[in-house]
Amino acid sequence: MSIFYPIFLYWGFTRPIPRKLYTDLIADNGADGEYVRETLRTRKPALWNKISKQLFENKFMFPEMNEYTGV
């Protein structure tokens, strides 16, 4: 029975997470999305660099993004 615990943990930690929910939350045009983006930008800058780049590659543009040019 104890052999299944490490196998289950490995499966749980390596299983891909659906990205649509996270994209919907971060790319929300309302105040909630702005709050999430600003919080990520100020508290987790390294993570925000990656997320901002991915959003830019998917044709999103928000003032909180590093790639924002003001257009």
- Which pTM value belongs to this model? 0.66
Is 61 part of any domain? yes
Is 31 part of any domain? yes
What is the per-residue pLDDT for 71? Answer: 66
pLDDT band at 1 (very low <50, low <70, confident <90, very high): low
pLDDT digit string, tens, across residues 19-51: 777 888 888 999 999 999 999 999 989 888 888
pLDDT band at 4 (very low <50, low <70, confident <90, very high): confident
Evaluate the CA torsion angle 52, 54, 56, 59 in order and state its sign: negative
Q: For residue 47, which phi and psi values (nearest 5 degrees)?
A: -65, -40
Q: Could you tell me the residue range of the domain that residue 62 belongs to?
A: 18-71
Proportion of the chain above pLDDT 90, given as a percent = 24
CA dist 6 and 2 (Å) reads: 8
Contacts of 66 (CB under 8 A, 6+ apart): 48, 49, 52, 53
Is 12 part of any domain? no
